């Protein structure tokens, strides 16, 4: 939502949200730290990619009603009330 590229682990719900055009999903395995550092390095070194990922992330979250805080709150309250 802040226009930043995302790097998440393949654990929990974030891995289901992140798409290839605005972030990286990294396996939680013995290579996790190595893979994480490679993705961070890639985003630091590639200004164009970092900016493109940021723009795409902002578009994705701005255009998806499920991520708006009021809608998220409503869905959360509905879920815990069931």
Residue range 6-52, pLDDT digits in tens:
999 998 888 888 999 999 999 999 999 999 999 999 999 999 999 99
pTM of the predicted structure, to 2 decimals: 0.74
The pair phi, psi for residue 25, each rounded to 5°, is -110, 125
DSSP at 27: -
Which pLDDT does position 9 carry in this prediction? 95
The alpha carbon dihedral of 15, 20, 21, 23 has a sign of: positive
Residue scoring higher pLDDT (47 or 2): 47
């Amino acid at each position: 939502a802040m226009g930043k590229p995302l790097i998440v682990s393949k654990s929990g719900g974030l891995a289901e949200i992140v798409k290839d055009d605005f972030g990286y999903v990294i396996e939680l395995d013995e290579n996790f730290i190595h893979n994480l550092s490679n993705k961070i390095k890639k985003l630091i070194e590639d200004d164009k990619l970092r900016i493109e990922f940021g723009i795409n992330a902002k578009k994705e979250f701005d255009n998806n009603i499920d991520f708006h805080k009021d809608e998220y709150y409503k869905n959360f309250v509905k879920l815990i009330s069931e």
